[in-house]
Amino acid sequence: MSNVELRSGESQEQLLKRFRKEVTKSRVLSTARKKRWFTPPSEVRRIKKQKAVRKARQAQRKRDRMAE
């Protein structure tokens, strides 16, 4: 859990900005969103495979452009 303490002379807006940055860095919200609904293991594997294929295609395109 992220913990942010108010510094002397710090405004509420600055404190909130630091808190949001800390939450983003710790990936609390993304983890909570992923766990909001149950995803079967087969679905997780399928999504990972799709991402890997997409990433491989992008890398291949990049290599093709570099070779030209």
Where helices occur in the chain by DSSP H, the ranges are 12-26, 28-34, 41-67
In a domain, 5, yes or no: no
CA distance 19 to 26: 11
Full residue range of the structural domain in which residue 29 is found? 12-67
How many domains would you assign to the chain?
1
pLDDT digits (tens, 9 = 90+) for 26-53: 998 889 998 999 999 999 999 999 999 9
What is the model's pLDDT at position 68? 77
In a domain, 17, yes or no: yes
- Give mean pLDDT, residues 3-8: 90
What is the model's pLDDT at position 3? 85
